[in-house]
Amino acid sequence: MNNREYAEIVCKELQAALGAIDTEATEKFADLLLEADEIFCAGAGRSGFQIRGFAMRLMHMGRKSYMVGETCTPNITENGLLVVCSGSGTTKSLVNHAMKAKEVGAKVALITINPDSAIGKLADVVIQIPAVSPKSDVQGAVKSIQPMGSLFEQCEGIYLDIVIMILMKRLGLDSDTMFGRHANME
């Protein structure tokens, strides 16, 4: 099978999984993103790389955003929103972050395969992506030919980019405006 043949299958998997994400939950997620004074993003491994792209786009839009664990990330307070990407919803360090966020009165949003997970139970909004991973066993999930959590991680990145477009529309921003704060030292 060559790369074009793989691409066709993967794009169908993406369409199936992304097309099943709840629209109401997404609107609520967008509300929380616009209401928060500061947005903290967290994720481990490949989920962490996807949400980094989201944190960066939020900065491009002029929102105060941070990656948990980076150098200049301050404490989260009651006006903050913590966005967590976790397929299993049970990664220990992320559970701790979510508990801390709730403890100080901040909001929590979770992008996950498993809404019934530890983080899912305390989140203010849960975005379920029905993409099968080796760690989960969810009814009605999209089957993937891809290894490990690849389909979920791809969906995370694309979904979060879609959320950015929803925010841009609400805020009346376009691509040129956003380029304004694009890093000029890299």
Residue 93 contacts residue 44 (beta carbons within 8 Å): yes
Of residues 37 and 180, the one with the C-beta less far from its own copies: 180
d(CA 132, CA 185): 39
Mode of pairing for the β-strands spanning 107-112 and 65-67: unpaired
Tokens 């793989």 found at: 6
- Which 8-state DSSP code applies to residue 142? B
Q: Shortest approach of its own copies to residue 126 CB, angstroms?
A: 14
b/e per residue 10-27 (b: at least 16 CB within 10 A): beebbebbbeebeeeebe
Of residues 122 and 168, the one with the C-beta less far from its own copies: 168
Q: Shortest approach of its own copies to residue 137 CB, angstroms?
A: 15
Among 38, 153, 156, 186, the one annotated catalytic: 153
Question: Is 153 among the residues known to form the active site?
Answer: yes
Residue 30 contacts residue 140 (beta carbons within 8 Å): no
Of residues 29 and 120, the one with the C-beta less far from its own copies: 29
Q: Shortest approach of its own copies to residue 156 CB, angstroms?
A: 10
Q: Which residues are catalytic?
A: 153
